[in-house]
Amino acid sequence: MGKVNLALREKFIRDGYALFRGVLEPELVESLQAWSDGVLEQQDEAHFARNRTTGSMVLIDWAMAYRYDALAELIAHRRVLAAVAELGFAEPKFGHGRIISKPPQSPPLFWHEDGRFWGDPVSYTWQPIQCFLMYYLTDTDARNGCLRVIPGSHRKRHALHDQAAPMHTDELRTYANPGDAAFQRAEGEVDVPVEAGDLVMGYGRLFHASHANLSDERRTVLTMWYYPHFVDLPERTQATIFSLERGNGETGTGPSTGLQARLEPLRIVYEGSAEPIATQWAPGPALA
């Protein structure tokens, strides 16, 4: 494990996110752009209609990771793992990801947080259970749909906890009601503009959204879900994660190259008998 950046770790725990510049090489960004464009071309019109505010919502599972070298390189990238370690998390595990690609002239993404573990006491502590690692494949700012976050909302109740739907509803995905609170400006929000190849890492339970894409170009982000320090989590939490993610680990085949073999330490493995905790999308009163 590399040296922990204590100042950055403290900021990450306080604000709920961290930005790492220039993590991915331009060649890898280009490969991932070409790969994701190819996957998006295989989706039908109904997929995009169902996901108007995200643009797309294509699952990245372990079968994909084994099939595509560029994706395997991303998941096990040494600079990525070094960035996670810089925050003090030495043994991350990969769960799944999504290709989220906003087409030109598309609406904003709604405010939401992905904290499906609110029934677990760990969610009310500083310790992250699940984190997103986002890689925008083009330079991104407020004009073409950059990320927006509400710092601190992963540990402190915000008005949106009582105003926004706790799950991704069809109404939100299709932009059926632009006047919904989830599409409005929010107290404390900040933009997170990035350059292609940067990494944004954040708590899954942090409120985040994105601006509309008002440009004439597609804006794609690969959102990869990791459990940054699985071995430190209580056994019931580990059992819960394994139960939720094991469907994304059924590949049918094992690694066939050295690159793919690098993925194996990132697999989620749990062999105990603890009872998983039921999924709960909305925080309880303990989030004050």
Domains of the chain: 6-266 (2.60.120.620)
Start-end of H helices in the chain: 6-15, 26-41, 45-50, 62-67, 69-75, 78-86, 160-163, 170-173, 235-245, 258-261
| Separation between Cα atoms, residue 209 and residue 275, nearest integer Å | 33
Q: Is the pTM of this model over 0.85?
A: yes
Averaged pLDDT, 165-190 = 95
pLDDT tens for 53-111 read 999 999 999 999 999 999 999 999 999 999 999 999 989 999 999 999 999 999 999 99
pLDDT of residue 249 exceeding 70: no
Q: Do 167 and 255 touch, CB atoms closer than 8 A?
A: no
E-state strands within 137-251? 147-149, 190-192, 199-203, 208-210, 219-227
Task: Calculate what percentage of the chain has a pLDDT beyond 90.
Answer: 91
pLDDT of residue 28 exceeding 70: yes
Task: Identify residue 217 by its one-letter amino acid code.
Answer: E
Q: How confident is the model at residue 285 (pLDDT cuts 50, 70, 90)?
A: very high
pLDDT of residue 256 exceeding 90: no
Q: What is the mean pLDDT of the chain?
A: 95
pLDDT of residue 169 exceeding 50: yes
